[in-house]
Amino acid sequence: MSECGSCVSNGDKVAGCQNNGGCLTGGCNKLNVFDWLSNMGMPQSEVFDVVEVRFKSGKKEFFRNYDRLDLITGDAVIVDVPNGHHLGYISLQGELVRLQMKKKKVKNDENIRKIYRLANARDLEKYQEVRKREKPTLKRTRHIIKDMSLGMKLSDVEYQADNSKPTFYYSADERVDFRELIKVLASEFKIRVEMRQISLRQEAGRLGGIGSCGRELCCSTWLTDFKSVTTATARYQNLSLNPSKLSGQCGRLKCCLNYELDTYLDALTDIPKLKGPLLTKKGAAKLQKTDIFRKILWFGYEKENTWHPVSSERVKEIMALNARNITPETLESNEATNGKTHFAAINKELERIDKKYRSKKRAKKKKKPRGR
323 or 9, which is more confident? Answer: 323
256 Cβ contact list (under 8 Å, min separation 6): 211, 213, 218
How does pLDDT run across 137-181, given as a tens digit for each residue? 999 999 999 999 999 999 999 999 998 899 999 999 888 898 999
pLDDT at residue 114, rounded to an integer: 93
| Res. 290: pLDDT tops 80 | yes
The SS3 assignment for 19 reads coil
pLDDT of 38: 64
In angstroms, rounded to a whole number, what is the distance separating the alpha carbons of residues 230 and 235? 9
| Residue 95 to residue 47: CA distance in whole angstroms | 8
**Which has more pLDDT, 210 or 334?**
210
pLDDT in tens, 233-286: 999 998 888 988 899 988 899 999 999 999 999 999 989 989 889 999 988 999
Domains and CATH numbers, the chain: 31-119 (no CATH), 121-224 (3.30.300), 227-269 (no CATH), 278-356 (no CATH)
Q: 290 near 239, Cβ under 8 Å?
A: no
Buried b (16+ CB within 10 A) or exposed e, 238-262: eeeeeeeebebbbebbbbebeeeee
Q: Which of 26, 159, 23 is nearest to 87 (CA)?
A: 159
Lowest mean pLDDT among 24-33, 39-48, 166-175, 200-209: 24-33
Categorize the per-residue pLDDT at 10 as very low, low, confident or very high, splitting at 50, 70 and 90: very low
CB atoms within 10 A of CB 103: 9
pLDDT in tens, 77-124: 999 998 889 999 998 888 889 988 998 899 998 889 999 999 999 999
Query: Which one is predicted more confidently, 329 or 368?
Result: 329
Q: How confident is the model at residue 349 (pLDDT cuts 50, 70, 90)?
A: low
Mean pLDDT confidence for 347-363: 61
For the chain, what percent of residues have pLDDT higher than 90?
Answer: 43
Helix (H, G, I), strand (E, B) or coil at 290: strand
**pLDDT value at position 1?**
42
Are 57 and 18 in contact, with CB atoms under 8 Å apart?
no
Residues 194-226 pLDDT 10s: 999 999 998 998 888 899 889 989 988 888 888
> pLDDT-based confidence at 42, cuts 50/70/90?
low
SS3 state at 32: coil
